């Protein structure tokens, strides 16, 4: 992983690819696009990005025009971008049989509560999305702070696994 100047490709996986994985993709691309290129996908895509996720991202000036709910099969194709890291962000996707990813990216499971399954008033739903987004941002910020270019693969794997337990309920 010690390629100087390399932009690392990161794939965030979830079941529906409508909330958590899309939030992670948009945040990482907007805030860390000089070092990471993020993508997201789902095992059973919802077909659209959740409107509350789009509203939240727009409210913090993160572009959403390119976001779409898509199948993880797109990223297992021969012409798909080579992924360096793969993160499952929900328990359902972590337990499913994933496609074989070209290049065998380093992976970790970072579970987050699903704000799309929350039942409540529109204001309570917005708050749930905001709370989960804060957790996603913190985890991604911690990941981005790792000295990826100076660590060996074993140290990186240990670090990204440990992030699953960091600030989980902060």
Active centre residues (catalytic): 14, 90, 98
Residues sharing a CB contact under 8 Å with residue 51, sequence separation 6 or more, in sequence order: none
- How many CB atoms sit inside 10 A of residue 67's CB? 22
Chain-centroid distance of CA 47 in Å reads 17
**Token reading at 24:** 């992670």
Chain-centroid distance of CA 126 in Å reads 19
85, 11 Cβ separation under 8 angstroms: yes
């Amino acid at each position: 992983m010690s390629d100087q100047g390399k932009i690392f490709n990161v794939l965030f996986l979830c079941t529906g690819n409508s909330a958590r994985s899309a939030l992670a993709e948009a945040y990482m691309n907007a805030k860390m696009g000089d070092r990471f290129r993020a993508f997201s996908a789902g095992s059973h895509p919802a077909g659209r990005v959740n409107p509350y996720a789009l509203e939240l991202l727009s409210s913090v000036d993160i572009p959403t025009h390119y976001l779409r709910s898509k199948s993880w099969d797109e990223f297992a194709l021969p012409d798909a971008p080579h992924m360096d890291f793969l993160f499952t962000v929900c328990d359902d996707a972590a337990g499913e049989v994933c496609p074989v990813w070209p290049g065998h990216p380093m992976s970790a499971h970072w579970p987050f509560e699903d704000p799309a399954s929350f039942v409540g008033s529109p204001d309570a739903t917005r708050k749930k999305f905001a709370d989960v987004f804060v957790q996603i941002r913190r985890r991604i910020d911690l990941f981005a702070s790792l000295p990826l270019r100076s660590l060996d693969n074993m140290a990186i794997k240990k670090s990204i696994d440990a992030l699953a337990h960091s600030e989980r309920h902060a």
